[in-house]
Chains A and B, each alone.
Chain A
Amino acid sequence: MRVVVDYDLCESNAVCMSIAPEVFEVRDDDFLYVLQENPPEDLRAKVEEAVVRCPKQAISIED
């Protein structure tokens, strides 16, 4: 699983960070950082929820 963020869409609403803080972090510069581009499978459910709940539909998963 590879996590892909479209930074042209991302507005740093940090919804993903509240769902999967292991993978997503909005830092004090207000930019989103992907902490693990290839997160382990046990995080899949969380990452999928982050994909669905991103208000900007900016996250996708490439298997």
Chain B
Amino acid sequence: MNGRPRRALVVGASQAGLSAARALRRLGFDGELTVVGDEEHLPYDRPPLSKQVLAGEWPPERTALLGDADADLDVTWRLGRRAAALDVERRTVSLDDGDDVPYDGLVIACGARPRTLPGTEIVAGVHALRTLDDAVAVRDAVAGGARVLVVGAGFIGAEVAATCREVGAEVTMVEPLPVPLGRVLGEDVGRVVADVHRDHGVDLRTGVGVDRLETADGRVTGAVLADGSTVACDLAVVGIGVVPATGWLEGSGLALDDGVVADATCRAGPGVVVAGDVARWYHRRYGEHVRIEHWDHAIAMGAHAAATLLAGDDALPFEPVPWFWSDQYDRKLMLAGRVQGADEVRVVDGSLDERRFVALYRRGDEVVAALGMNRPAPLARWRARLADRVGWDEAITD
């Protein structure tokens, strides 16, 4: 780029995009700043969607992210507009309404879309839980004690199940793995999560997938599971993961591989940086490209990508310790680090039985992650500690 950009365009109006926009201004960018978002809403916070909004405790407006501190953000919002194509050579993004938006610097922060059960996209009563509109729709459908089928016991499914139980709905949660979150957190911790849900009255069916949904007059009435058993429901919430929203970038020349591929500094091409759920960047310390879907990550990477856009050749590598939390009933799970490929999980504080513990994940002779259930303080310390290499023997003898 010749000098600093005069026109910055951010595609994506959620945490990563907003964080990038804020950081551009904070770092002194005073040119034109446009943010495109495919929802009609101004940026809002997603974690409360599966909790306070779904429970009806918060009005949807309370999730709004823009505050008094954003008074000088000076953004041209293009909401309800989807980016349709990118021309890297001409530095132009085409929107779905036919408009072309030229830029000098582009931040791609368009996130990911929920996976759907094949053939259910037009079935009434089948929901994802990704957007504010999703959360309001599920809230309204659940109010008054509906029978809810939760498909997938990942973090979104588990939080939805917990909140639905708390507002008095009947909940059946179906998970193909033997225990919820087993692949992420390990079997032992997954069993604790399963027990917590069963104790709260969730009919949790594990080790079995959904074969098909049953419908009447275009509305879901239940499901047939892979073992032939059935579940009756008034609505279904599907939480089976997300897919990076890269369709509009096909043929743009940017490298796509389960996300937009970027270098260690978040740069994906000339004048193009990426952030958030859609970004697969080279994490120098981990020695590979990674893509992370956490809330905190979206904020941090949005700010870093903005800095890279302005820094030119002086851009710094982005090397965060992944971190997230999940609230289910009165339990708070927090995970710092990377559990992939762990050889061993060991509880070093508290116990699985009391459902209040810290567990460490070992890979080789190194601690690669720490998980806490209702232990926020040690997890905050672990998050800081894991920025550097921590030897396993040293950690477990602390």
Contacts and interface: CB of A to CB of B under 8 A. Distances in A.
A12 B327 CA distance: 12
A30 B374 contact: yes
A55 B377 contact: no
A26 B327 contact: no
Interface residues of B, number: 21
A12 B295 contact: no
B379 to A, nearest CB: 7
B47 A12 contact: no
A14 B324 CA distance: 11
Q: What does DSSP make chain B's interface, helix, strand, loop or mixed?
A: helix
A12 B22 CA distance: 25
Interface residues of A, number: 17
B377 to A, nearest CB: 4
A17 B323 CA distance: 13
Interface in B277-300: 295-296, 299
A52 B303 CA distance: 12
Given A11-B327, A13-B325, A55-B295, A26 B377 contact: yes
B219 interface: no
B320 to A, nearest CB: 11
Interface in B163-189: none
Interface in A17-42: 17-18, 21, 25-28, 30
B377 A27 contact: yes
B185 to A, nearest CB: 18
Contacts, number: 42
Contact of B296 (A11, A12, A53): A53
Contacts of A15: 296
Nearest to A52: B69
B214 to A, nearest CB: 38
A53 B299 contact: yes
Given A11-B327, A26-B376, A30-B376, A55 B383 contact: no
Contacts of B376: 12-14, 26, 30
B25 interface: no
A49 to B, nearest CB: 9
Interface of B: 22, 45, 47, 69, 295-296, 299, 323, 325, 327, 332, 334, 374-380, 383-384
Interface of A: 11-15, 17-18, 21, 25-28, 30, 48, 52-53, 55
Which 10 residue pairs across A and B have the least CB separation, nearest first?
Answer: A14-B380, A26-B377, A14-B376, A12-B376, A17-B380, A26-B376, A18-B380, A28-B377, A18-B383, A13-B325
Given A13-B334, A26-B380, A30-B376, 20 more contacts: A12-B332, A12-B376, A13-B325, A13-B332, A13-B376, A14-B334, A14-B376, A14-B377, A14-B379, A15-B296, A17-B380, A18-B323, A18-B380, A26-B377, A28-B377, A30-B374, A30-B375, A53-B299, A55-B47, A55-B325
